[in-house]
Amino acid sequence: MSRIGKKPVPIPAGVTVTVNDGGVSVKGPKGELEAATVDLVEVSVADNEVVVKPVNQSKPARSAWGMTRTIIANMITGVTEGFSKKLLITGVGYRAQMQGRNVKLNLGYSHDVVYEVPEGIEVQVPQPTEIIVSGIDKQKVGQVAAEIREWRKPEPYKGKGIRYEDEYIFRKEGKKK
């Protein structure tokens, strides 16, 4: 039994949830999100709550149960509060700056890396060593942050690279004589 799937998702004031065949759409103060649902779960709205139930007790239906509930909860959180991830850049000469809607990264390569920010995502660079990725779709925010981090992952010897704010880099000791 899914423990997270049993809990109904509360709908805050100012948010409307619409269940149509094959999907769920959530509209709130920050925007609108849609997600497709699988046929193995049944989604219903009652008493300012979204309730997700499996169609039967098969393993795939029970697997989709908790995941569908979590996706809907993240959509509601996204249209009310939004999501953000903070990236920190460490290294001599490593920096970032905005160029219109693009992020220009100097990461020790022979050329600058220009990352085009997709629609629906906002990127801010308050300091040259700090990047804040924000938006209403949790999956997109995480994907953009991961793509930016992919250009120069943190290395274990000096800690140089792009890392998440809450990420711990396991440091290794250098070569000994």
pLDDT per residue, tens digit, the chain (177 aa), is 668 888 999 999 999 999 998 899 999 999 999 999 999 999 999 889 999 999 999 999 988 999 999 999 999 999 999 999 999 999 999 999 999 999 999 999 999 999 999 999 999 999 999 999 999 999 999 999 999 999 999 999 999 999 999 999 999 998 887
From-to residues of CATH 3.90.930.12 in the chain: 3-80, 83-164
Query: Long-range contacts made by residues 154-157, C-beta under 8 angstroms, separation at least 24?
Result: 154/90
Q: CA 171, 123, 130 angle in degrees (round to 5)? A: 35
Q: Are 31 and 136 in contact (CB under 8 A)?
A: yes
CATH superfamily, region 3-80: Ribosomal protein L6 (3.90.930.12)
Q: What is the pTM of this model?
A: 0.89
> What distance, in Å, lies between the first and last C-alpha atoms of the chain?
57
The closest of 132, 135, 133, 127 to 97, measured between CA atoms, is 127
Q: Are 144 and 123 in contact (CB under 8 A)?
A: yes
Phi then psi dihedrals of residue 170, to 5 deg: -70, 115
Q: Are 171 and 159 in contact (CB under 8 A)?
A: yes
Q: Is 116 exposed, middle or buried, given 0-12, 13-18 or 19+ CB atoms closer than 10 A?
A: exposed
| Amino acid (one-letter) located at 77 | T
What confidence score (pLDDT) does residue 1 get? 63
Fold of 83-164: Outer Surface Protein A; domain 3 (3.90.930)
